[in-house]
Copies of this chain bind each other. A is one copy, B any other.
Amino acid sequence: MEIGLVGLGQMGAAMARRILAASHGLRVWNRSEEKAAPLVASGAKAVKTPREAADGDLVISMLANDHAVEEVVLGADGIVAGLRGVHVSSSTISVELARKLTEAHPLGKLVSGCVFGRPAAAEDGKLFVVAAGDPAAVDECGPAFDAIGQRTFYVGPDPYMANLVKIIGNFMIATTIETLGEAFALARKNGVEASKLLEVLSGTLFGAPVVKTYGELIVSGVYDPPGFRLPLGLKDVKLVLAAGEASEVPLPLASLLRDQFLDALAHGGQDVDWAALAEVSARAAGLE
């Protein structure tokens, strides 16, 4: 299959390596060209514009935010301008932009294929793919999804649906961090070790990867280097709030998270992992 990949950040590059490993043809594009070099050494072809990257069976975009997606997808030399097959949008973007992208694509040719998993999972092809769009188009993406992920979930016929599920997932991670932050603050101030509490939680009803991963980060108190930066967490909570606002859905948990994120940022949370959100609860409780 001839696949294009637009956006070679940490996740995009890992996905590119998986696609090459699966023996697909790959054309890559990135704003700063040097990121393409190692992939070219492994057999990819570097192209000059997103438009050229789109000139294959499938093109995947994996970009930082709404602004980058608008430019790279809808610009004069953008993906839509050159689209020959299906465009898989994997970026975490707003529901609003996803709807706008759908309008701008030929009917049925946009698939939202959002992914869950940290970069390490991407390297191992162990991402989870959440896909939405025209069923036939999603079927065409099968080989690509198989290359990058361990399992694909189909959530509906309109592409924005996958974007919504993606940001809901991130909202739920942030809620888990906040919950652990409050629980650990209460435990610690009452003389119970956070690690003991976490052991019980993980070992009983709350044995999900998210509790273990973030619980251990918070117990360690080491938030640097960040796996996912705190301001990005705020960005995603705001995407959820925006989706709620557009559809008139109050989301008091998301509102609370937003305020806690701002508190964290006002106390030096710019460059740390978003697990540091838990420090807000500790500080409010007067813990050092």
Contact = CB atoms under 8 A, between A and B. Distances in A.
Interface of A: 95, 116, 128, 130, 151, 153-156, 158, 160-161, 164-165, 168-169, 171-173, 175, 178-179, 182-183, 185-187, 189-193, 196-197, 199-201, 203-211, 240, 243-245, 247-256, 258-260, 262-263, 265-267, 281, 284-286
Contacts of A253: 178-179, 182, 253, 256
Contact of A285 (B153, B169, B248, B254): B248
Nearest to A206: B208
A191 B156 contact: yes
Given A151-B203, A203-B128, A259-B250, A168 B191 contact: no
A274 to B, nearest CB: 14
Contacts of A262: 244-245, 248-250, 284-285
Q: Which of A172, A256, A260 has the most CB of B within 10 A?
A: A172
Contacts of A254: 182
A209 to B, nearest CB: 5
A95 B190 contact: yes
The majority secondary structure among interface residues of chain A is helix
Contacts of A211: 208
A234 to B, nearest CB: 8
Given A191-B158, A205-B169, A250-B285, A259 B263 contact: no
Contact of A197 (B165, B201, B258): B165
Contacts of A193: 155-156
Contact of A250 (B168, B250, B284): B284
A156 B186 contact: no
A200 B154 CA distance: 9
A248 B263 CA distance: 7
A176 to B, nearest CB: 8
A150 to B, nearest CB: 10
Q: Which of A151, A172, A253 has the most CB of B within 10 A?
A: A253
B200 A153 contact: yes
